[in-house]
Amino acid sequence: MSKLKIAIQKSGRLSEKSIKLLEECGIKFPNGGGKLITEATNFPIEILFLRDDDIPQYVEQQVADLGIIGENVLVESKKKINLVEKLGFSSCRLSLAVPKETQYESLEFFRNKRIATSYPNILSEYFQKLQIEVTIEVISGSVEIAPGIGLADGICDIVSSGSTLLSNGLKEVEKVLDSQAVLVANHDLEDSKKQILEKLLFRIQSVRKAKENKYILLNTPNSKLEKIKTILPGMNSPTILPLAKESWSSLHSVIREDKFWEVIDELKEAGAEGILVIPIEKMIV
Ligand SMILES: Nc1ncnc2c1ncn2[C@@H]1O[C@H](COP(=O)(O)OP(=O)(O)OP(=O)(O)O)[C@@H](O)[C@H]1O
Ligand SMILES: O=P(O)(O)OC[C@H]1O[C@H](OP(=O)(O)OP(=O)(O)O)[C@H](O)[C@@H]1O
Ligand SMILES: [Mg+2]
Protein backbone atom coordinates (compact mmCIF):
# COMPACT_ATOMS: atom_id res chain seq x y z
CA MET A 1 0.00 0.00 0.00
CA SER A 2 1.39 3.43 -0.89
CA LYS A 3 2.30 5.89 1.81
CA LEU A 4 1.90 9.62 1.79
CA LYS A 5 5.08 11.59 2.44
CA ILE A 6 4.63 14.81 4.36
CA ALA A 7 7.47 17.31 4.79
CA ILE A 8 7.50 19.45 7.91
CA GLN A 9 10.02 21.96 9.24
CA LYS A 10 12.93 20.30 11.05
CA SER A 11 13.44 23.05 13.59
CA GLY A 12 11.96 26.49 13.81
CA ARG A 13 8.72 28.33 14.29
CA LEU A 14 6.55 25.71 12.56
CA SER A 15 8.12 22.48 13.83
CA GLU A 16 6.47 21.97 17.18
CA LYS A 17 3.01 23.01 15.97
CA SER A 18 3.24 20.81 12.87
CA ILE A 19 4.16 17.79 15.01
CA LYS A 20 1.38 18.64 17.47
CA LEU A 21 -1.18 18.84 14.66
CA LEU A 22 -0.22 15.38 13.38
CA GLU A 23 -0.37 14.01 16.93
CA GLU A 24 -3.78 15.59 17.52
CA CYS A 25 -4.89 13.80 14.34
CA GLY A 26 -4.12 10.57 16.19
CA ILE A 27 -0.99 9.85 14.13
CA LYS A 28 1.73 8.13 16.15
CA PHE A 29 5.35 8.22 15.06
CA PRO A 30 8.78 7.90 16.63
CA ASN A 31 10.40 11.33 16.82
CA GLY A 32 13.87 12.14 18.08
CA GLY A 33 17.45 11.00 17.80
CA GLY A 34 18.01 13.41 14.91
CA LYS A 35 16.28 11.12 12.39
CA LEU A 36 15.21 13.13 9.34
CA ILE A 37 12.60 10.66 8.16
CA THR A 38 10.17 8.65 10.25
CA GLU A 39 7.21 6.41 9.58
CA ALA A 40 3.88 6.60 11.39
CA THR A 41 2.96 3.37 13.15
CA ASN A 42 -0.83 3.70 12.76
CA PHE A 43 -1.40 5.73 9.56
CA PRO A 44 0.04 5.31 6.04
CA ILE A 45 2.29 8.32 6.22
CA GLU A 46 6.02 9.10 6.30
CA ILE A 47 7.27 12.31 7.85
CA LEU A 48 10.30 14.14 6.43
CA PHE A 49 12.01 16.82 8.55
CA LEU A 50 13.40 19.57 6.29
CA ARG A 51 14.32 23.26 6.08
CA ASP A 52 11.04 25.05 5.42
CA ASP A 53 12.39 26.94 2.38
CA ASP A 54 13.19 23.63 0.66
CA ILE A 55 9.71 22.16 1.13
CA PRO A 56 7.93 23.81 -1.88
CA GLN A 57 10.58 22.49 -4.26
CA TYR A 58 10.44 18.98 -2.81
CA VAL A 59 6.64 18.96 -3.04
CA GLU A 60 6.76 20.17 -6.64
CA GLN A 61 9.29 17.45 -7.50
CA GLN A 62 7.26 14.77 -5.67
CA VAL A 63 10.12 14.05 -3.25
CA ALA A 64 7.31 14.77 -0.76
CA ASP A 65 3.58 14.61 -1.51
CA LEU A 66 2.55 17.15 1.12
CA GLY A 67 4.16 19.86 3.18
CA ILE A 68 3.44 22.25 6.01
CA ILE A 69 4.89 25.72 5.40
CA GLY A 70 4.09 29.38 5.95
CA GLU A 71 2.02 31.00 3.20
CA ASN A 72 4.86 33.51 2.90
CA VAL A 73 7.24 30.71 1.88
CA LEU A 74 4.64 29.25 -0.51
CA VAL A 75 4.11 32.58 -2.31
CA GLU A 76 7.83 33.44 -2.37
CA SER A 77 8.79 30.05 -3.80
CA LYS A 78 6.61 30.46 -6.94
CA LYS A 79 6.44 26.67 -7.16
CA LYS A 80 3.45 25.02 -8.84
CA ILE A 81 1.92 23.30 -5.84
CA ASN A 82 -1.57 23.29 -4.37
CA LEU A 83 -2.64 25.09 -1.21
CA VAL A 84 -4.90 22.42 0.30
CA GLU A 85 -5.83 23.85 3.69
CA LYS A 86 -5.06 26.83 5.89
CA LEU A 87 -4.05 25.50 9.29
CA GLY A 88 -4.71 28.46 11.56
CA PHE A 89 -1.38 28.59 13.38
CA SER A 90 1.84 30.63 13.08
CA SER A 91 -0.12 33.65 11.92
CA CYS A 92 2.07 36.58 10.98
CA ARG A 93 2.40 39.21 8.28
CA LEU A 94 5.05 40.30 5.86
CA SER A 95 5.48 44.04 6.29
CA LEU A 96 7.56 46.98 5.23
CA ALA A 97 9.30 48.85 8.03
CA VAL A 98 11.51 51.92 8.24
CA PRO A 99 13.62 53.55 10.99
CA LYS A 100 11.21 54.97 13.56
CA GLU A 101 12.39 58.57 13.12
CA THR A 102 11.62 58.46 9.36
CA GLN A 103 8.88 60.79 8.15
CA TYR A 104 6.77 58.28 6.28
CA GLU A 105 3.69 59.38 4.39
CA SER A 106 3.08 56.90 1.60
CA LEU A 107 4.61 54.09 -0.43
CA GLU A 108 6.20 56.80 -2.59
CA PHE A 109 8.80 56.97 0.19
CA PHE A 110 10.33 53.77 -1.16
CA ARG A 111 10.90 55.07 -4.73
CA ASN A 112 14.58 54.47 -5.61
CA LYS A 113 15.26 53.32 -2.03
CA ARG A 114 17.05 50.14 -0.92
CA ILE A 115 14.98 47.54 0.91
CA ALA A 116 16.49 44.51 2.66
CA THR A 117 14.45 41.32 2.63
CA SER A 118 14.48 37.53 2.40
CA TYR A 119 11.39 37.77 0.16
CA PRO A 120 12.66 39.28 -3.13
CA ASN A 121 9.96 37.72 -5.34
CA ILE A 122 7.02 38.92 -3.26
CA LEU A 123 8.56 42.35 -2.82
CA SER A 124 9.51 42.94 -6.44
CA GLU A 125 6.02 41.96 -7.63
CA TYR A 126 4.50 44.24 -5.00
CA PHE A 127 6.47 47.28 -6.17
CA GLN A 128 6.12 46.38 -9.85
CA LYS A 129 2.34 46.55 -9.49
CA LEU A 130 2.70 49.95 -7.87
CA GLN A 131 5.15 51.02 -10.60
CA ILE A 132 7.64 52.10 -7.97
CA GLU A 133 11.30 51.38 -8.70
CA VAL A 134 13.21 50.00 -5.70
CA THR A 135 16.51 48.20 -5.10
CA ILE A 136 16.11 44.93 -3.27
CA GLU A 137 18.98 43.75 -1.06
CA VAL A 138 18.52 40.05 -0.43
CA ILE A 139 19.66 38.80 2.94
CA SER A 140 18.71 35.50 4.52
CA GLY A 141 18.17 36.48 8.17
CA SER A 142 18.45 39.18 10.85
CA VAL A 143 16.90 41.54 8.30
CA GLU A 144 15.94 44.07 10.98
CA ILE A 145 19.59 45.00 11.40
CA ALA A 146 19.94 46.27 7.80
CA PRO A 147 18.93 49.95 8.17
CA GLY A 148 21.07 50.35 11.30
CA ILE A 149 24.24 49.16 9.54
CA GLY A 150 23.63 51.25 6.42
CA LEU A 151 22.68 48.33 4.17
CA ALA A 152 19.18 49.59 3.36
CA ASP A 153 16.66 52.39 3.91
CA GLY A 154 13.92 49.99 4.94
CA ILE A 155 13.13 46.32 5.33
CA CYS A 156 10.43 43.83 4.42
CA ASP A 157 10.17 40.97 6.89
CA ILE A 158 7.89 38.84 9.03
CA VAL A 159 6.13 40.68 11.86
CA SER A 160 4.05 39.10 14.58
CA SER A 161 4.09 40.94 17.92
CA GLY A 162 6.23 43.74 16.47
CA SER A 163 8.78 43.43 19.28
CA THR A 164 11.72 42.66 16.95
CA LEU A 165 10.98 45.84 14.99
CA LEU A 166 10.68 47.84 18.19
CA SER A 167 13.93 46.59 19.66
CA ASN A 168 15.73 47.46 16.43
CA GLY A 169 14.38 51.01 16.21
CA LEU A 170 12.01 50.33 13.32
CA LYS A 171 8.31 51.00 12.69
CA GLU A 172 5.90 49.02 10.51
CA VAL A 173 4.49 51.15 7.70
CA GLU A 174 2.76 48.82 5.21
CA LYS A 175 1.48 45.24 5.24
CA VAL A 176 2.44 43.30 2.12
CA LEU A 177 0.98 39.85 2.88
CA ASP A 178 -0.95 38.01 5.59
CA SER A 179 0.38 34.57 6.37
CA GLN A 180 -0.34 31.46 8.40
CA ALA A 181 0.76 27.83 8.24
CA VAL A 182 -0.74 25.96 5.28
CA LEU A 183 -0.89 22.40 4.04
CA VAL A 184 0.40 22.15 0.48
CA ALA A 185 0.31 19.22 -1.92
CA ASN A 186 1.76 18.09 -5.20
CA HIS A 187 -0.52 18.73 -8.19
CA ASP A 188 -0.49 15.20 -9.40
CA LEU A 189 -1.12 12.81 -6.53
CA GLU A 190 -2.00 9.26 -7.53
CA ASP A 191 -5.49 8.11 -6.49
CA SER A 192 -4.37 5.97 -3.54
CA LYS A 193 -2.46 8.97 -2.12
CA LYS A 194 -5.44 11.26 -2.70
CA GLN A 195 -7.50 8.90 -0.55
CA ILE A 196 -5.00 9.07 2.30
CA LEU A 197 -4.94 12.88 1.96
CA GLU A 198 -8.74 12.94 2.24
CA LYS A 199 -8.52 10.95 5.50
CA LEU A 200 -5.82 13.24 6.86
CA LEU A 201 -7.80 16.35 5.88
CA PHE A 202 -10.91 15.02 7.58
CA ARG A 203 -8.90 14.60 10.79
CA ILE A 204 -7.27 18.04 10.48
CA GLN A 205 -10.65 19.69 9.98
CA SER A 206 -12.12 17.84 12.98
CA VAL A 207 -9.24 18.99 15.17
CA ARG A 208 -9.60 22.59 13.96
CA LYS A 209 -13.38 22.67 14.40
CA ALA A 210 -12.98 21.33 17.92
CA LYS A 211 -10.56 24.16 18.73
CA GLU A 212 -12.91 26.80 17.34
CA ASN A 213 -15.86 25.55 19.40
CA LYS A 214 -16.65 24.95 23.05
CA TYR A 215 -19.18 22.73 24.76
CA ILE A 216 -21.45 24.80 26.97
CA LEU A 217 -23.68 23.59 29.81
CA LEU A 218 -26.01 25.80 31.80
CA ASN A 219 -28.99 25.59 34.11
CA THR A 220 -32.14 27.59 33.52
CA PRO A 221 -35.70 27.85 34.82
CA ASN A 222 -37.98 26.22 32.23
CA SER A 223 -39.78 29.55 31.78
CA LYS A 224 -36.54 31.03 30.33
CA LEU A 225 -35.67 28.09 28.08
CA GLU A 226 -37.10 29.47 24.85
CA LYS A 227 -35.33 32.80 25.28
CA ILE A 228 -32.00 31.09 26.04
CA LYS A 229 -32.38 28.79 23.03
CA THR A 230 -32.59 31.82 20.75
CA ILE A 231 -29.40 33.29 22.23
CA LEU A 232 -27.56 29.99 21.85
CA PRO A 233 -28.05 28.48 18.44
CA GLY A 234 -26.43 25.04 18.78
CA MET A 235 -24.95 22.74 16.16
CA ASN A 236 -28.44 21.38 15.45
CA SER A 237 -30.69 21.86 18.42
CA PRO A 238 -29.49 21.94 22.02
CA THR A 239 -29.87 18.98 24.38
CA ILE A 240 -32.28 19.77 27.23
CA LEU A 241 -32.41 17.58 30.33
CA PRO A 242 -34.65 18.02 33.39
CA LEU A 243 -32.89 18.93 36.64
CA ALA A 244 -33.77 17.43 40.04
CA LYS A 245 -34.80 20.98 40.99
CA GLU A 246 -38.42 21.33 39.88
CA SER A 247 -39.16 23.41 36.76
CA TRP A 248 -35.48 23.75 35.94
CA SER A 249 -33.50 22.26 33.04
CA SER A 250 -29.92 21.77 32.05
CA LEU A 251 -29.14 22.89 28.52
CA HIS A 252 -26.12 21.56 26.58
CA SER A 253 -24.91 23.03 23.34
CA VAL A 254 -21.88 23.89 21.22
CA ILE A 255 -20.82 27.46 20.69
CA ARG A 256 -18.06 29.10 18.66
CA GLU A 257 -15.39 30.32 21.03
CA ASP A 258 -15.35 33.80 19.46
CA LYS A 259 -19.13 34.09 19.92
CA PHE A 260 -19.09 32.96 23.54
CA TRP A 261 -17.90 36.25 25.02
CA GLU A 262 -20.47 38.12 22.94
CA VAL A 263 -23.43 36.19 24.39
CA ILE A 264 -22.35 35.52 27.95
CA ASP A 265 -23.98 38.66 29.38
CA GLU A 266 -27.17 38.01 27.42
CA LEU A 267 -27.30 34.47 28.82
CA LYS A 268 -26.92 35.67 32.40
CA GLU A 269 -29.53 38.37 31.91
CA ALA A 270 -31.93 35.81 30.46
CA GLY A 271 -31.61 33.74 33.66
CA ALA A 272 -28.90 31.17 32.93
CA GLU A 273 -26.97 29.91 35.96
CA GLY A 274 -24.07 27.56 36.60
CA ILE A 275 -22.60 28.11 33.16
CA LEU A 276 -19.78 25.70 32.30
CA VAL A 277 -17.66 25.97 29.17
CA ILE A 278 -15.62 22.92 28.28
CA PRO A 279 -13.01 22.32 25.54
CA ILE A 280 -13.90 19.81 22.83
CA GLU A 281 -11.22 17.35 21.79
CA LYS A 282 -12.54 16.30 18.37
CA MET A 283 -15.59 17.49 16.49
CA ILE A 284 -17.12 15.41 13.70
CA VAL A 285 -19.96 17.14 11.86
N1 LIG B 1 7.35 35.72 14.79
C2 LIG B 1 6.59 34.87 14.16
N3 LIG B 1 5.33 34.61 14.57
C4 LIG B 1 4.54 33.73 13.90
N5 LIG B 1 4.94 33.05 12.82
C6 LIG B 1 6.18 33.27 12.37
C7 LIG B 1 7.08 34.18 13.01
N8 LIG B 1 8.24 34.18 12.37
C9 LIG B 1 8.10 33.31 11.36
N10 LIG B 1 6.86 32.76 11.34
C11 LIG B 1 6.33 31.75 10.40
O12 LIG B 1 7.04 30.54 10.61
C13 LIG B 1 7.76 30.18 9.44
C14 LIG B 1 9.10 29.57 9.85
O15 LIG B 1 9.83 30.55 10.56
P16 LIG B 1 11.34 30.30 10.99
O17 LIG B 1 11.83 31.56 11.60
O18 LIG B 1 11.43 29.05 11.79
O19 LIG B 1 11.96 30.07 9.53
P20 LIG B 1 13.43 29.84 9.06
O21 LIG B 1 14.36 30.58 9.94
O22 LIG B 1 13.40 30.16 7.60
O23 LIG B 1 13.62 28.27 9.26
P24 LIG B 1 14.49 27.16 8.47
O25 LIG B 1 15.73 27.00 9.29
O26 LIG B 1 13.66 25.90 8.46
O27 LIG B 1 14.75 27.69 7.10
C28 LIG B 1 7.88 31.46 8.62
O29 LIG B 1 8.03 31.21 7.24
C30 LIG B 1 6.58 32.15 8.95
O31 LIG B 1 5.51 31.63 8.15
O1 LIG C 1 7.19 40.59 15.49
P2 LIG C 1 7.90 39.57 16.32
O3 LIG C 1 6.97 38.82 17.24
O4 LIG C 1 9.09 40.11 17.01
O5 LIG C 1 8.42 38.42 15.30
C6 LIG C 1 9.12 38.75 14.13
C7 LIG C 1 10.42 38.03 14.06
O8 LIG C 1 10.21 36.62 14.11
C9 LIG C 1 10.94 36.01 13.05
O10 LIG C 1 12.23 35.71 13.39
P11 LIG C 1 12.61 34.52 14.39
O12 LIG C 1 12.47 34.97 15.80
O13 LIG C 1 11.86 33.28 14.03
O14 LIG C 1 14.14 34.33 14.11
P15 LIG C 1 14.90 34.05 12.71
O16 LIG C 1 15.15 35.42 12.15
O17 LIG C 1 16.15 33.36 13.14
O18 LIG C 1 14.02 33.20 11.83
C19 LIG C 1 10.95 37.08 11.96
O20 LIG C 1 12.00 36.88 11.02
C21 LIG C 1 11.08 38.36 12.73
O22 LIG C 1 12.42 38.70 12.93
MG1 LIG D 1 13.95 29.05 6.24
Ligand having the closest approach to the CA of 145: 2
Q: Which is the closest atom of ligand 1 to the Cα of 180? A: 31
Is the CB of 161 inside a 6 Å radius of any atom of ligand 2?
Answer: yes
- For 93, half-sphere exposure in the C-beta direction (CA atoms, 13 angstrom radius) is 13
What tens digit of pLDDT does each residue of 105-135 get? 999 999 999 999 999 999 999 999 999 999 9
Q: What is the mean pLDDT of the chain?
A: 95
Which residue did the predictor score with more confidence, 53 or 231?
53
Are 174 and 185 members of one domain?
Answer: no
Are 63 and 185 members of one domain?
Answer: yes
pLDDT of residue 215: 93
Inter-CA distances, 101 with 108, 170, 198, Å? 17, 8, 51
User: Mean pLDDT throughout 40-45?
Assistant: 97
Are 58 and 185 members of one domain?
Answer: yes
CATH number at residue 119: 3.40.190.10
Task: Output the CA 48–ligand 3 centroid distance in Å.
Answer: 15
Provide ipTM, 2 decimals.
0.95
pLDDT of residue 232: 84
Are 102 and 32 members of one domain?
Answer: no
From atom 20 of ligand 1, which residue's Cα is the shortest distance away?
Answer: 12
What tens digit of pLDDT does each residue of 21-33 get? 999 999 999 987 7
- 199 part of a folded domain: no
Is the CB of 159 inside a 6 Å radius of any atom of ligand 2?
Answer: yes
Of 135, 154, 179, which one is at a domain's C-terminal end? 179
Is the CB of 93 inside a 6 Å radius of any atom of ligand 2?
Answer: no
% of the chain with per-residue pLDDT over 90? 89
Is the CB of 158 inside a 6 Å radius of any atom of ligand 2?
Answer: yes
pLDDT classification of 263: cutoffs 50, 70, 90 = confident
Pocket test for ligand 1, best of 11, 13, 89 (most atoms within 8 A of CB): 13
pLDDT classification of 261: cutoffs 50, 70, 90 = confident
Of the listed ranges 84-98, 128-142, 237-251, the least confidently predicted one is 237-251
Is the CB of 155 inside a 6 Å radius of any atom of ligand 2?
Answer: no
Are 44 and 69 members of one domain?
Answer: yes
Of the listed ranges 1-15, 115-129, 187-201, 255-269, the least confidently predicted one is 255-269
Are 106 and 81 members of one domain?
Answer: no
Residues with CB under 6 Å of ligand 1 are 9, 12-14, 51-53, 70, 72-73, 90, 92, 158, 160, 179
DSSP string for the chain: ---EEEEEESSSTTHHHHHHHHHHTT------TT-SEEE-SSSSEEEEEE-GGGHHHHHHTTSSSEEEEEHHHHHHHT---EEEEE---S-EEEEEEEETTS---SGGGGTT-EEEES-HHHHHHHHHHHT---EEEE-SS-GGGTTTTTS-SEEEEEESSSHHHHHTTEEEEEEEEEE-EEEEE-TT--HHHHHHHHHHHHHHHHHHHHHHEEEEEEEEEGGGHHHHHHH---SSS-EEEE-SSTTEEEEEEEEEHHHHHHHHHHHHHHT-EEEEEEE-S----
pLDDT classification of 285: cutoffs 50, 70, 90 = confident
Ligand having the closest approach to the CA of 158: 2
Instruction: State the residue range of the domain holding 256.
Output: 213-279
Which residue did the predictor score with more confidence, 183 or 257?
183
pLDDT classification of 235: cutoffs 50, 70, 90 = low
Is 114 buried (19+), middle (13-18) or exposed (0-12) by CB count in 10 A? Answer: middle
Q: Does the pLDDT of residue 233 top 80, yes or no?
A: no
Task: Output the CA 9–ligand 3 centroid distance in Å.
Answer: 9
pLDDT of residue 68: 98
- 207 part of a folded domain: no
Of the listed ranges 46-60, 214-228, 255-269, the least confidently predicted one is 255-269
Inter-CA distances, 153 with 96, 119, 146, 248, Å? 11, 16, 8, 68
- 117 part of a folded domain: yes
- 143 part of a folded domain: yes
pLDDT of residue 84: 98
Tally the domains of the chain.
3
From atom 18 of ligand 1, which residue's Cα is the shortest distance away?
Answer: 12
